[in-house]
């Protein structure tokens, strides 16, 4: 198996809340189980009111203290919802707790009514959120140097200094979630990696080559991390039905609308391995797995057949 391939698991914060369970013990246990199966990373999603769930930064701090060695990240954080000075301190603290294992996956947020309402609830303007994301992370990076910062823009600082500084020089890597050409260019030019959610392998492959070419022009090493949703079941019809039901409950839109933009697969282990392999062939270096159904069985099967994800059946 190629050493470049890494497997990550998305901690099911939203799924647990959807079941009416707001505790955290089982979430930490899910992370431990993924670590025991040999997974390389753990990820936590972000939302306030659009898709209520546990706060990702607080939970990552907890994961950092109980699970050693694994990479930890957000998939994806909505930085525009947060003041960047506060965010810089939070991320630096998590990087210290994890001893340099943090990755910040970030996105601009989809333009849908529930997310617009979420921004309004947080007192943040939805418009120009791309600019807020870009300037906000520039400010984070300036503060992570540990020196006094002067800043005139959306935020105003005069000789303000922040602590702690991150373990990782320059701050944790920031991977941008993007599917359109302009966003992929930003991922190559202004960030440390690209984190798409699909869609189909051919389209993903085309976008991946575009990203790789942009990185080559800049003499940067490309980092591509793909987010996928899987439902494992020997009965493929049942698996597809369960997957579609999950997507509709999660997003409150028809399942097919989500499957046009997200990488999703329901079926037996052979079907899922072929599906994952197609994305590795197309250029994915890191796969983040969101599980519908029995996460323990799914993670166990993926770990058992890990070499086939890269090599194929």
Q: Residue 21: pLDDT band by 50, 70, 90 thresholds?
A: very high
Which stretches within the chain are classed as H helix? 13-18, 25-36, 56-66, 84-97, 113-121, 129-143, 181-190, 201-217, 236-251, 255-259, 269-282, 295-304, 306-311
- Give the model confidence (pLDDT) of 142-172 as tens digits: 999 999 999 999 999 999 999 999 999 999 9
Average pLDDT, the chain: 97
pLDDT at residue 51, as a whole number: 97
- In this prediction, residues 257-284 reach a mean pLDDT of 98
- In this prediction, residues 122-145 reach a mean pLDDT of 97
Residue 137 · residue 173 · CB < 8 Å? no
Q: 227 has which bridge partners?
A: 288
3 pLDDT more than 90: no
pLDDT at residue 4, as a whole number: 81
- Give the model confidence (pLDDT) of 169-206 as tens digits: 999 999 999 999 999 999 999 999 999 999 999 999 99
2 pLDDT more than 50: no
> Residue 6 phi/psi, 5° resolution?
-125, 150
């Amino acid at each position: 198996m190629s050493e470049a391939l890494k497997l990550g698991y998305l901690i099911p914060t939203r799924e647990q809340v959807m079941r009416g369970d707001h505790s955290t013990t089982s979430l930490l246990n899910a992370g431990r189980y993924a670590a025991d199966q040999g997974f390389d990373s753990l990820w936590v999603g972000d939302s306030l009111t659009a898709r209520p769930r546990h706060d990702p930064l607080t939970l990552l701090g907890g994961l950092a203290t109980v699970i050693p060695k694994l990479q930890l990240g957000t998939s994806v954080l909505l930085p525009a919802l947060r003041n960047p000075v506060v965010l810089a301190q939070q991320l630096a603290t998590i990087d210290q707790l994890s001893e340099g294992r943090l990755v910040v996956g970030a996105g601009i947020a989809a333009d849908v009514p529930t997310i617009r309402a979420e921004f309004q609830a947080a007192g943040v303007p939805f418009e120009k959120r791309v600019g807020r994301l870009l300037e906000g992370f520039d400010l984070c990076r300036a503060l992570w140097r540990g020196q006094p910062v002067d800043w005139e823009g959306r935020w105003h600082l005069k000789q303000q200094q922040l602590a702690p500084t991150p373990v990782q020089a320059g701050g944790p890597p920031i991977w941008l979630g993007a599917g359109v050409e302009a966003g992929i260019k930003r991922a190559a030019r202004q960030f440390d990696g690209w984190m798409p959610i699909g869609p189909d392998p051919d389209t993903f492959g085309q976008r991946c080559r575009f990203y790789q070419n942009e990185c080559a022009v800049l003499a940067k090493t490309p980092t591509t991390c793909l987010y996928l949703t899987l439902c494992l079941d020997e009965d493929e019809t049942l698996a597809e039905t369960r997957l579609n039901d999950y997507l509709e409950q999660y997003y409150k839109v028809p399942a097919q609308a989500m499957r046009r933009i997200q990488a999703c697969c329901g079926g037996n282990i052979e079907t899922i391995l072929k599906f994952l392999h197609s994305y590795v062939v197309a250029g994915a270096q890191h796969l983040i797995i969101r599980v519908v159904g029995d996460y323990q069985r799914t993670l166990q099967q993926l770990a058992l057949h890990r070499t086939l994800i890269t090599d194929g059946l």
